[in-house]
Structure 1
Amino acid sequence: MTVSLHRSATVLFQGDSITDVGRLVEPDTPLGNGYARMAADLVRAARPGSGITFVNRGVGGDGVADLRARWREDAMDVAPDVVSVLIGVNDTWRRYDSGEVTSPEAFEDDYRAILTQVRDGLDAQLILIEPFLVPVTDEQWAWREDLDPRIQTVRRLAEEYDAALLAADGMLNQAARAAGGAEHIAGDGVHPTPLGHRLLAEAWAALAGVERPRS
């Protein structure tokens, strides 16, 4: 499934630090320095003069409950035509680094709440990006027990809400094997390297009908 970016459309990127990537601390880079900016650059290059506006509202450290809490101001009030969401890895990470547990049921409830607001309140298309983990330590392999059900939830919600799905987890783990190790894709297993961000951006742009650059 692809999304249609009409002329003068507004595209909203939402998520955590993987989407933020400096946009909150660097006022000259409102789209950050990661996949969101790279994807916008790819679309603009393919469709010059289209007047498409890209907005980034990612906030580092957010879990899905945080996203829900700021959804009115940072999503609905933007009135986007396309809403792209990448959230979930912090809900897993906090379990292992600070003992804060977000149950699969709570994760789905919060995620469903934001998607329902988009469906009922906006005439917007959805892009859901799977949360992902590219393990760099033996300990991180154990995180899969917590993260994998969240990935399945996102896949199920994409089907239910007729959203385009970016299957990032498998894509980035496969890319890590091709690149010679996880550290080439996500240095700490969670935050993408420039290569990891580029792969996400290319996959995102492909969902918008932009051909992947030839390597």
Structure 2
Amino acid sequence: MTITLRPGSTVMFTGDSITDCRRRESEDGLGSGYPLRIAGEWAHRHPDRPVTWLNTANAGDKVTDLQARWRTDVLDARPDVLSVLVGANDMGRHTLDPKGHVIPAERFEADYDRLLAPLVEAGTELILIEPFLLPIHGVVEAGAAVLIGEKEREQWRADLDPKIQAVRRLARRYGARLLAADGRFAELAASSAPEHWSADGVHPTPAGHAALAAAWLRLVA
């Protein structure tokens, strides 16, 4: 079942750098990634159904970072539809908390659950986007290229997969629309070079953002 965007609806995107895309430097506040593409394509298809588009994503955020700003950045805005993509920074070595402990999938799910519950109670429609990892040998961190080996990439994948399953469970629990981004990028990477969709395995290229936007728009009517 799809979400119906009515004239005057407010749609918010939130999450980490994949969604942020330097939104603060953009005139419309949407950044340069898939939220901008979605808003532009919607306006092109439906000039008679104007929608307010907001982006409150922050680069580097984990689920716990979202919790710290959830009231002011999300709940107080009262969006009709909220789209969330988070998890890339909860993966691999990023999962260490301040005490040096790995954040398990169970805690990731519980923290994520606490974000969603008040929105469901308020009647907000939810779109949950799976975090994803493409099979790239290099990643970019803090603006610098870092090569990772097969073993480390396998460890990242082993850590991410249970968190993807957590997002799927949350989508079922709250009747949210699920954008199966990890599976979609796996399909795309099987028929063309994964670098075409993401240069570092996490941040999409323009083609990757277009793929996310196209999949997102299939969830709304």
Per the alignment, residue 197 of structure 1 pairs with 209
Distance 2:68 2:208 in 1: 29
RMSD: 1.5
Distance 2:69 2:40 in 1: 27
Report SS of the residue matched to 2:11: strand
Q: 2:198 aligns with which of 186, 194, 199?
A: 186
Distance 2:187 2:153 in 1: 17
Per the alignment, residue 129 of structure 1 pairs with 129
Report SS of the residue matched to 1:106: helix
Q: Percent identity?
A: 48
Distance 1:185 1:145 in 2: 21
User: 1:120-160 CA deviation, whole Å, 9 max, x = no partner?
Assistant: 2x221000000000021223232111000000000011001
Report SS of the residue matched to 1:55: strand
Which residue identity does 1:16 align to in structure 2?
D
Distance 1:58 1:91 in 2: 15
1:86 aligns with 2:85: yes
Report SS of the residue matched to 1:199: helix
Per the alignment, residue 212 of structure 1 pairs with none
Per the alignment, residue 20 of structure 1 pairs with 20
Per the alignment, residue 4 of structure 2 pairs with 4
Give the conservation status (yes or no) of the 8 Å contact 2:18–2:33: yes
Aligned CA distance change for structure 1 residues 7 and 29 (closer, same or farther; 3 Å): closer
Distance 1:168 1:27 in 2: 25
Per the alignment, residue 183 of structure 2 pairs with 170
Give the conservation status (yes or no) of the 8 Å contact 2:26–2:32: no
Provide TM-score, normalisation by structure 2.
0.88
Aligned CA distance change for structure 1 residues 100 and 57 (closer, same or farther; 3 Å): farther
Give the conservation status (yes or no) of the 8 Å contact 2:13–2:54: yes
Give the conservation status (yes or no) of the 8 Å contact 1:15–1:62: yes
Q: 1:161 aligns with which of 168, 174, 181?
A: 174
Which residue identity does 2:197 align to in structure 1?
I
Give the conservation status (yes or no) of the 8 Å contact 1:19–1:35: yes
Distance 1:123 1:187 in 2: 38
Which residue identity does 1:52 align to in structure 2?
V
Aligned pairs for 1:90-109 (under 5 A) are: 90-93=89-92, 94-95=94-95, 101-109=102-110
Which residue identity does 1:164 align to in structure 2?
R
Distance 1:201 1:27 in 2: 18
Distance 1:192 1:141 in 2: 20
Per the alignment, residue 62 of structure 1 pairs with 61
User: 1:14-42 CA deviation, whole Å, 9 max, x = no partner?
Assistant: 10000000103x14241010011111111
Provide TM-score, normalisation by structure 1.
0.91
Distance 1:162 1:127 in 2: 9
